[in-house]
Amino acid sequence: MDSAPAIVASIQLSCQDLGLPVPTRERAAHVIGLGLKDALSYAVPELPPSDYGKLAERYKYHFMAHDPDIELFPGVREMLIALKERGHILAVATGKSRAGLNRVLEATQLKQCFDSSRCADETHSKPHPAMLQELMQELMVAPEATLMIGDTGHDLQMALSAGVPALAVSYGAHPRDSLTGFNPIACIDTPQELRPWLEKYA
């Protein structure tokens, strides 16, 4: 989903609400993919631990206000359905909470496309490899038969740590040059290029 602008705006607005230094777009975007606590701690390093709850509350408020406007990238719905029909096992490893992921899957009506998922409030947050390791164990898929598709360095580092091949997509949260340093097997620059690549190589 094209959620990066909403996440960045929500972090910045939350900081404004509490009179905290407002992170740049680049710093706020860097945390996308992390669990909320890790994300806010990085985005606002000046934040006293005692104020984390206040900032998290304001972030959730602003993000929920943006939530109805967040849309799937073009062609993603059709791609997921086609991959499922081809027999691929699909899973989600996300920095969202379980409640947040459930809300997204319900809103997009894509729950039936995924065989399993892991969220940041259920196990270690990215870039720790636990999400991928747990999913592979549950779904009985070997690392070499797994492909992590990610739009952040946190995704690609998680894949490296889990011994899993990674495909980078540069149209999401992190810029291309910050992704290619993790040596993904390829870097896809537009949503329209992703499905043909997967159909050819996955």
Q: Tell me how far apart the alpha carbons of residues 54 and 39 are, in angstroms, rounded to a whole number.
A: 14
Residues 6 or more apart whose Cβ sits within 8 Å of residue 111? 105
Q: Please determine, for residue 108, whether its predicted confidence score (pLDDT) is greater than 90.
A: yes
Q: How confident is the model at residue 177 (pLDDT cuts 50, 70, 90)?
A: very high
Look up the pTM and report it: 0.90
pLDDT band for position 26 (50/70/90)?
Answer: very high
**Structural element, H or E, at residue 117:** strand 116-119
Give residue 145's pLDDT.
Answer: 98
Q: Is the pLDDT of residue 184 over 90?
A: yes
Spatial neighbors of 78 by CB under 8 A, at least 6 apart, are: 195
Where along the chain do its domains lie? 4-69, 76-201
pLDDT digits (tens, 9 = 90+) for 78-98: 999 999 999 999 999 999 999
pLDDT of residue 37: 86
Residue 167: beta bridge partners?
149, 186
Task: Tell me what pLDDT residue 68 has.
Answer: 86
Mean of pLDDT values over 21-49: 90
* DSSP H helical ranges for the chain: 4-17, 25-30, 36-43, 52-66, 76-85, 98-108, 130-139, 153-162, 176-180, 191-201
Share of the chain above pLDDT 90, in %: 90
pLDDT at 50: 86
Is the separation of the CB atoms in 169 and 152 below 8 Å?
no
In 3D, which of 72, 64, 133, 65 has the Cα closest to residue 99?
64
For 4-69, CATH number out of 3.30.450, 2.60.40, 1.20.120, 1.10.150 equals 1.10.150
Whether domain 76-201 has CATH 3.40.50.1000: yes
